[in-house]
Amino acid sequence: MVDNPNEFATVAVRIIKGKLTDQLVEGIQYEKITQWYEMTQLDVEIPGWEEYLVPVANSVYDHVICDSEVERQFVEGLEHRDDVKLYLKLPAWFTVPTPIGEYNPDWAIVMEDCEYGESTGKPLLYLVRETKSTHHLDELRPDERRKIICGERHFQDVLGVDYKVVVSARELP
């Protein structure tokens, strides 16, 4: 690197920018606001996604868009669970602002609260889940990992909504 000052400077700038971004993400704080999304904002039809549609019974739609095989298997798992009352692949416009761009989580899920397979009679659980092929955030792209950290702060810390990264529907409570 001493022989190539331009390459040294490029690598140094990339490392410094990465560390600065990590500090911004670690220090982010969200505040609860009184703004709501309305059901009328949900898309009726999404043209051009036909090959990614999976027919379902427990969603607000009769089909769900799956971007990957991990998502497809997750949907199949949701469909086989009796405690999952309703779920929704969150639309592209549903985003959480982060220092590195907008984050669009994958799923909103409404479940019946159960213990040992039996209903507790308690209110329903509201969950937000991000589906990935791994639980190890270090294996993801740096910006993807940072957005997930921001999503967790947004949903759990501020809104009190259960948020996790999952690989399969078996990981739900």
Residue-wise pLDDT for 42-75, tens only, equals 655 565 666 778 889 988 888 888 889 999 999 9
Instruction: Output the pLDDT for position 27.
Output: 80
Residue-wise pLDDT for 138-164, tens only, equals 999 999 999 999 999 999 888 889 999
Query: Would you place residue 20 in the very low, low, confident or very high pLDDT band (cuts 50, 70, 90)?
Result: confident
Walk me through the domains of the chain, giving residue ranges and CATH numbers: 31-171 (3.40.1350)
Task: Please tell me whether residue 127 adopts helix, strand or coil conformation.
Answer: strand
Angle at alpha carbon of residue 164, lines to 162 and 100, rounded to 5°: 105
